[in-house]
Structure 1
């Protein structure tokens, strides 16, 4: 028993001494830490580049090759190659760069380029076919030809075959304006009758005299523009032509709803909106131009497909649903296009989505 008690007493008396020794050892390590571990953070500055590893064939291993090699340039102080031109982003706006479009009695050539580049080419076309340019205004976006009756080539262009003593005088006007879709140009050509040589630029005549003739002239102009694409240049004067977008988005607030604003006559705006729904495969279930509304299935395509598949699997008739009522209202020289959920539809509200798709297509 006494031996056991002595052992306990020795352990209890020796424990503080062991703890003290451990504490002193830990303190020594902390104090001398800088000398135990070498600081190598600056070694890279004096490091020597190692020889690259080679394979059996003597070529550097793949990982040793530069991810972005710098090509050597010949010559002194000059680049050996030309910097490539940036891509023409307007090429994706239209499926075709030249399209003749019509709404009611109005026809125009839609060109996939800005007015400032089209203006010189239209003037060149008028001179080549014998019409000439008697007056023009880049501010108005208009050109006016000479009297065509006195030129054989010009007479053939507008279809004046026989000369008569009392035949009316004819001239041709061209009007260029920014297209509805961004970075496009709309060109109209309009022959008109005059009592005498005007000697000045006449105002644009809204009503066409011969729409078929206008479209024939537009086709000839389109071929001319396509042949001159590589040599097209800018007109500094035509750069002052209005380039403001004709389609904007009005954001909603407490007093007015969200709307796509189109700066076009109502008939043109109606035709553009219908064209968007048809091109975007948005089903139209009902429409009334006089009342200014269109009923569409505004659901995304994948949601329509899931709904149609479910209906077909359940044995129901597969058909689109009128989810949204699109309304067009004319105010001044603008048309406001709004969307709301159809009264007969109890599902989600796709109004903002439909307007966004309409705006993105047009703009």
Structure 2
């Protein structure tokens, strides 16, 4: 017991002594002397000293006006759909719009066919295409035919299904179309070219509704397909802004889809449309003149003067591989690049 006490006392004494031996050096920098400046020797070339993360030079510099108001950042929620699963119809075309990337929908669609007793005979993730076997060989596939209104005696020829996944107009969304095709024989089939027109329209719309319900009810089991990462290629909407050409929005869409996308984009950006001419592809815009409508400006304007209903036009023009949206001014003044980019960026944020 005395040995333990001796050790404890010894440790305490050494600890107290150490506090006095180790000097506090936290304020020594105050008394530090200034050293000599570092001199780079002449033999060391200055061009060998370069930043690790260099900032590239800016080739395209737009001159800003003397007074410039920095625009507010775009709303981060504008790329989110109001509903995650929406069936849209335009003319004769119908598609399921899903608020997820094609890489996530592809394996879920594979699972849908399997759970409904349908075997996929052909699939090309790069093109986003699937083609099933002839339906009716299993009880589950017969039930699927009945659910889309083609069961029993209503079918006089063998049927197979096609599905096409593609990038949606908005970022990180997917468009799914289906086709119900007649075939001449049962058994193995050759891959059929995707048809731009519906086969059996009512049945295809019912099939989209069934797939929509399935995807919505099986979100927790969703996986991701690396093979389907590039489905549909690049974005269908892009801002093109070159050094020697006017900026515009490029739309990889048909005229009907491009016109509808521009209409939704203007509505989402809250840009007032005074008039429109669909046959010419022109929107007449009243933009940026809210401050002129106050009582103060009315004091200096006569009653006979009538302000034009619009001050910009948004023109939908055909180009080689799609359509483009370009902004023009209507009051006889040349439009500035700053005005063009402001309106086009608002549209891009609300379309893509």
For 2:97 and 2:145, the matched residues in 1 are separated by 26
For 2:118 and 2:242, the matched residues in 1 are separated by 50
2:309 is matched with which residue: 291, 316, 321? 321
Matched, 1:187 2:176: yes
Residue equivalent to 1:68: none
For 1:273 and 1:328, the matched residues in 2 are separated by 9
For 1:321 and 1:95, the matched residues in 2 are separated by 32
Tell me the alpha carbon deviations over residues 283-319 of structure 1, each in whole angstroms, 9 at most, x when there is no partner: 22222222121112222xxx52x44443997698999
Q: Which structure would you say has the larger RCO, counting Cα contacts within 8 Å and 6 or more residues apart?
A: 2
Decide whether the 8 Å contact of 2:265 with 2:348 is kept in 1. Answer: no
How do 1:11-22 residues align onto structure 2 when only pairs under 5 Å count? none
Q: How far off is 1:145 after superposition?
A: 1.8
Q: Which runs of 5+ in 1 are unaligned?
A: 1-40, 47-88
Matched, 1:310 2:295: yes
2:95 is matched with which residue: 91, 98, 108? 108
Tell me the alpha carbon deviations over residues 159-186 of structure 1, each in whole angstroms, 9 at most, x when there is no partner: 123327x812222211001111111111
Tell me the alpha carbon deviations over residues 51-76 of structure 1, each in whole angstroms, 9 at most, x when there is no partner: xxxxxxxxxxxxxxxxxxxxxxxxxx
Matched, 1:270 2:259: yes
Matched, 1:155 2:145: yes
2:26 is matched with which residue: 37, 43, 58? 43
- Tell me the secondary structure at the aligned position of residue 271 of structure 1: helix
Give the direction of change, closer, same or farther, for the CA distance of 1:320–1:210 in structure 2 (3 Å limit).
farther
- Tell me the secondary structure at the aligned position of residue 152 of structure 2: coil
Q: How far off is 1:271 after superposition?
A: 1.1
TM-score (norm 1): 0.66
Matched, 1:96 2:86: no
Which structure carries more helix by proportion?
A: 1
Residue equivalent to 1:60: none
- Tell me the secondary structure at the aligned position of residue 96 of structure 1: coil
For 1:102 and 1:160, the matched residues in 2 are separated by 21
Decide whether the 8 Å contact of 1:298 with 1:350 is kept in 2. Answer: no
How do 1:291-310 residues align onto structure 2 when only pairs under 5 Å count? 291-299=280-288, 303-304=289-290, 306-310=291-295
TM-score (norm 2): 0.68
1:330 is matched with which residue: 305, 318, 331? 318
| CA RMSD, 1 decimal | 3.4
Number of residue equivalences: 276
2:214 is matched with which residue: 200, 221, 224? 224
